[in-house]
Amino acid sequence: MKIKNICCIGAGYVGGPTMAVIAQKNPDIKVTVVDINAARIAAWNDEDLSKLPIYEPGLDQVVAGARNRNLFFSTDVDAAIEAADMIFISVNTPTKTYGQGKGMAADLKYIELCARQIARVAKTDKIVVEKSTLPVRTAQAIKSILHNTGNGVQFQILSNPEFLAEGTAVQDLMAPDRVLIGGEQTKEGFEAIQALVDIYATWVPLENILTTNLWSSELSKLTANAFLAQRVSSINALSELCEVTGADVNEVAIAIGKDSRIGPKFLKASVGFGGSCFQKDILNLVYIAKSYGLNEVADYWEQVIIMNDYQKRRFASKIIQTLYNTISGKKIAFLGWAFKKDTNDTRESAAIYVADQLMEEQAHIVVYDPKVTAQQMQADLNYLNTRSEADNEQNLTTVLNPYDACKDSHAVAVLTEWDEFKTYDWQKIYDEMKKPAFVFDGRGILDQSALETIGFHFYAIGK
Ligand code: NAD
Ligand code: UDX
């Protein structure tokens, strides 16, 4: 079976970059990315590539090469479904905010809407690919919706979770550690798996394309994120112990990372992990375990989130305590708002929670982030519902220049590890700050001894 026409529902952080790379590598396949968000589609179609809705290094070039050749962005979801022989579902699966499983389970309403729309529109056989991250056994529900249309159309469902990380999406898609494809273990299932393997095999070595049954594939995605987040919480837990014992968390990380069984990656102590995936996927895992009555399993994984929340609070508390237990009316500069460098994404960013806690103490926060807009910062704070929108606007301002953020501030806090922060004229920043001048490095990126020589009082996590 040779795929000629792909539709991807959801033009977000995953759908956009993933389809752009598939289109680039498969010029003979027509790829149409659709979304109900017209503004987002318009941005994907913008001639000015700096206006793409997602900032990812290298993405503009990939889009420029394939767009309007075999890569299209559209709001006509029905037409794209009808024309496609393979449909990726790449819509959001946020944590449920209502009803049963509120605050824990994944909200599958967008997935179900897609399945129902496919069932309604499809007139020819289709392979439906779960690209979104889903609870194990979701394919069962999708199958039951698709198989009850009564119009004779045949569907095969595959699970093909996405492992890209934001900020390195293009690089990760170009050279993935592995591509995972789960499908039914039947003749038709194997044919569908092979059709998707063929698409990836145009650029991914075959030994890096793993095929499994549906449930292993679905569960592997949640498991991978749980393991990754667990490493961050583990090193963050140790960071506090380092602070009270005189050990240095960076030295500990290097020492343990040299053990090939542990490995050096993902051991950077921080103000806490953010992003749209880790927390949501672990909460989902916890919920699934609980729903099977596996309470010890659920408690084990929940601890990763508890530790992460604690780390964010601990960082904010450190700022308050150090500034003589009173920050009311003080100006605190934030360098960074995004949840990590090289992205404009702020979902679950630690900066939001640290700012909220400091604003409860009546601090005035002034933020500089190279990619995040003032509107986004306000939306992030308003979403927490801690205070009125007017109060948020008054107590947190956004500036376009880092030196303006730091000028006259009592303290500078680094919330995101943007490379440019290391290159600033820290003497100038010091000269323009209130004294004593404090720096709280939540990402461990600044040169502590150089800054202390200038005169800063310096706090780094885990030292
Ligand atoms: P996103 O919110 O950026 O994009 C989802 C898009 O789907 C939105 O633009 C939304 O308008 C659209 N959409 C929702 N319902 C629709 C419908 N019925 N028809 C058409 N469009 C619809 O989300 P994302 O970050 O791209 O994540 C998508 C999925 O991929 C999630 O399940 C997520 O867990 C998973 N994932 C995300 C990442 C990541 O780094 N962001 C990495 C791996 C996996
Ligand atoms: C993650 C997974 O890495 C990716 O495979 C999956 O597809 C989606 O979720 P993402 O959230 O985009 O990707 O970024 P990631 O690099 O994993 O960072 C997540 C958070 O952990 C960030 O806030 C980052 O700053 C933090 N982090 C990461 C640390 O604090 N320390 C580390 O050592 C690594």
Question: Can you tell me the mean pLDDT for 51-68?
Answer: 96
For 149, 217, 323, the CA distances from 161, given in Å and listed in that order, are 26, 7, 45
For the chain, give every domain's residue range: 5-204, 306-460
Q: Identify the DSSP state of 219.
A: H
Question: Can you tell me the mean pLDDT for 383-411?
Answer: 98
Strands 71-74 and 30-34: parallel
pLDDT at 216 over 90: yes
pLDDT per residue as tens digits for the range 138-162: 999 999 999 877 788 999 999 999 9
Residue 1 has a pLDDT of: 85
* Residue 165, annotated as binding a ligand: yes
Which residue shows structure tokens 């998707």? 196
Query: If one looks up domain 5-204 in CATH, what number appears?
Result: 3.40.50.720
Question: Can you tell me the mean pLDDT for 335-350?
Answer: 96
Asked whether 365 and 354 are in contact (CB, 8 A), the reply is no
For 105, 109, 139, 179, 298, the CA distances from 290, given in Å and listed in that order, are 10, 21, 20, 29, 6
Distance 433 CA to ligand 2 centre (A): 32
**CA gap 403, 255 in Å, rounded:** 36
* Residue 329, annotated as binding a ligand: no
**What 3-state DSSP class applies to 258?**
coil
Average pLDDT, the chain: 97
In the sheet that holds 5-9, the strands lie side by side as: 71-74, 30-34, 5-9, 86-89, 126-130, 155-159, 179-183, 209-213
Atom of ligand 1 nearest to the CA of 132: 32
pLDDT per residue as tens digits for the range 250-267: 999 999 999 999 999 999
Tell me the two tokens of residue 137: 């056994």
Residue 150 has a pLDDT of: 77
In the sheet that holds 411-414, the strands lie side by side as: 396-398, 364-368, 331-335, 411-414, 438-441, 457-460
Atom of ligand 2 nearest to the CA of 443: 30
* Residue 280, annotated as binding a ligand: yes
For 399, 428, 430, the CA distances from 406, given in Å and listed in that order, are 10, 10, 9
369 lines ligand 2 (CB under 6 A): no
Strands 457-460 and 438-441: parallel
Atom of ligand 2 nearest to the CA of 172: 5
**CA gap 18, 11 in Å, rounded:** 10
Distance 239 CA to ligand 1 centre (A): 33
Active site residue 406: no
Residue 151 has a pLDDT of: 80
Nearest 5°: the CA angle 277, 339, 74 is 65
User: Which listed residue (7, 114, 242, 277) is catalytic?
Assistant: 277
pLDDT per residue as tens digits for the range 167-204: 999 999 999 999 999 999 999 999 999 999 999 999 99
pLDDT at 302 over 90: yes
Q: How confident is the model at residue 431 (pLDDT cuts 50, 70, 90)?
A: very high
End-to-end CA distance of the chain: 58
Q: Identify whether 176 is preceded by a cis peptide bond (ω within 30 of 0).
A: no
pLDDT per residue as tens digits for the range 375-396: 999 999 999 999 999 999 999 9
Q: Residue 313's Cα: distance from chain center in Å? A: 21
Nearest CA to 189 out of 208, 210, 221, 214 is that of 214
Residue 408 has a pLDDT of: 98
Identical topology for domains 5-204 and 306-460: yes
99: left (phi over 0), alpha (psi -120 to 50) or beta: left
Mark out the alpha helices in 246-401 (DSSP H runs): 249-257, 278-291, 295-322, 350-360, 374-384, 389-395
Options 3.40.640.10, 3.40.50.720, 3.40.50.300, 3.20.20.80; which CATH number does 306-460 get? 3.40.50.720
